[in-house]
Amino acid sequence: MDLQDQLKNLFPDHEMAPEEAIEKEAHELYVQKEPMICKFEKRKGKATTIIEGYEGTDEDFKILAKEIKTKLSVGGTFKDDSIIIQGDYRDKIMTILKDKGFKVKRVGG
C-alpha cells in the first residue's frame, strides 16, 4: 500500500487537487552606469580576482557571484560588498560581465 492509498483510507472524502505549475521569473540584474572594478591580488601567496563597485542590491550581487563561479568552475565568496574569486580570471570575468551589459574597469597589472 503506497502513501496515496493510505491517505485515501484516512480521508475518503478528500479529492486531490491538480498540481499547479510554479512559474519561475527570470531575475533581472541592475545594470549600472559606473564601471565595476576587476582587480588582481595575492592573498597568503595565492592569486585572487576581486570584483568591486556594484551599486545594486546585495542579493543581485550574490546572484552575479554565483553565476561567475559556476561559469568558471572555481571557488569564491561574496564578502564586504565584493566578489572574491580564487585564481587570476580577470579576462574571462570581464568578458562575462560585458556580455551581461556591465562596464568593467581592469585595475592592476
Q: 55 vs 23, 25, 28, 69, 91, CA distance in Å? A: 28, 22, 14, 20, 22
Q: Rounded to whole angstroms, how far apart are CA atoms 87 and 63?
A: 20
Question: Inter-axis angle of helices 58-72 and 90-99, to 10 degrees?
Answer: 120
**Whole domain around residue 75: which residue ranges?**
33-107
pLDDT above 70: percentage of residues in the chain: 91
**Domain total of the chain:** 1
pLDDT digits (tens, 9 = 90+) for 94-107: 999 999 888 999 88
* Residue 59: inside a domain: yes
* Residue 56: inside a domain: yes
* Residue 62: inside a domain: yes
Q: Rounded to whole angstroms, how far apart are CA atoms 46 and 64?
A: 23
Spatial neighbors of 92 by CB under 8 A, at least 6 apart, are 72
* Residue 5: inside a domain: no
CATH number, domain with residue 49: 3.30.780.10
pLDDT digits (tens, 9 = 90+) for 55-103: 888 888 888 899 999 999 999 998 888 999 999 999 999 999 999 888 9
* Residue 39: inside a domain: yes
* Residue 75: inside a domain: yes
